[in-house]
Amino acid sequence: MASYNPKLLNQKYNNWVKGQLAVLFTKEGLEPFVCNEIQQFQLKCLDDICYNNGIFSGTICSSCSTENVVKCPTKGICIVGGGQCSFHRNSKYILAGCPNRICHNFKLGIQKAHRHPCPSYKNTDTTQWCSNSWEVAKCFMPPDGYKDKASATETDFNGIISVILNYKDFQRKVHENLKDETNVFEVARKIGRHLRHSSTLEVEDTDLQEYFQVLQQLLSDSAYLASDTHAQNAKQKLTELENDTLVIGKDDRKKAIDDVVKALQDKIKAGLDEQTDRNKLDAINILNEECNRKRKNLSEYEEELRKRLKTAYKDGKDEEYMNNRKSE
């Protein structure tokens, strides 16, 4: 392949771009694996429900909303104040359950398959459980920020890895012990979070080397991924990226930055943001407007972006400190 001469502003920023792209390539390599397993789980749930309850095979339901399927109160979802639940207030809870005997049994199947006691029902639309397996997958993702993700492509690395970690049957196709908090999938998830939420968009050489090692190890898992075409194609990309034989174009650099913007927008939308997140997103939006007017090239944009994110992070931390002092 064409050689790549690293001249992206400075070495640490270049490392960050490479780390971001490595995570995104890994996500692409895992998407078919995750989609297929969740689709198989969806079909098995429906088959088991029909068989165990004497229902005609192929029976489905699309009429039960999430608010009707999730009982009130449910830990982590329902906040009851003034006699009214924040989650169920706009719906009429059907105590009798699903009229087709599908949805509430499907919920039980998800609970049994989940590694933890509280699936993320806030993320999902139960009216699509029988027709869209990704709505089932979202029950195994973190509880906030994934409600509007309609496919694996739209879902970030954190969400994809969370499905593998939380859907217990993935252990059948993963050699790593997924119960172990130091397993390579958990370590990779932390790497993705660190890169996405970096305040400086910089990575040290030694850290980048470690990131590549972890992601390569993940894609080489001997139980299934080592022989999976998509995973191995992603692994090949990582090797080329690490060895500087993969061309990093403008679209790739922009993709790395866009992923950061998306992470900030998702945090703010989910109400999980801190002052630094809002400051950083404001700085990016202002810079985008200025660049559109002045037609700055990508390198100039990247240089200015890093400066403004550092300032926004510092200002946000200062503001949080002052607010905490006032409340003491």
pLDDT tens-place string over residues 13-42: 889 999 999 999 999 999 999 999 999 999
Q: How many residues does the chain have?
A: 328
d(CA 12, CA 200): 9
Work out the percent of the chain whose per-residue pLDDT is above 90.
54
Judge whether residue 315 has pLDDT over 90.
no
Most confident of 14-18, 95-99, 170-174, 297-301: 170-174
Specify which residues 81 forms β-bridges with: 84
SS3 71: coil
CB atoms within 10 A of CB 224: 15
Task: Please name the amino acid found at residue 63.
Answer: S
Judge whether residue 325 has pLDDT over 50.
no
Beta-carbon contacts of residue 9 (< 8 Å; ≥ 6 apart): 299, 302, 303, 306
Residue 85 · residue 75 · CB < 8 Å: no
Q: Lowest mean pLDDT: which of 24-33, 143-152, 274-283, 287-296? A: 287-296
Q: In the prediction, which pLDDT does 299 show?
A: 67
Q: In the prediction, which pLDDT does 273 show?
A: 52
Per-residue pLDDT, averaged over 254-283, amounts to 71
pLDDT tens-place string over residues 157-204: 999 999 999 999 999 999 999 999 999 999 999 999 999 888 788 899
Angle at 68 between CA 67 and CA 72, to 5 degrees: 70
Q: Where residue 316 falls among pLDDT bands split at 50, 70, 90? A: low
Q: In the prediction, which pLDDT does 98 show?
A: 86
Beta-carbon contacts of residue 119 (< 8 Å; ≥ 6 apart): 110, 111, 139, 140
Work out the percent of the chain whose per-residue pLDDT is above 70.
74
Q: Which two tokens stand for residue 259?
A: 């992923």
- From residue 140, alpha-carbon distances to 22, 194, 240, 275 in Å are 24, 21, 32, 28
Residue 156 · residue 263 · CB < 8 Å: yes
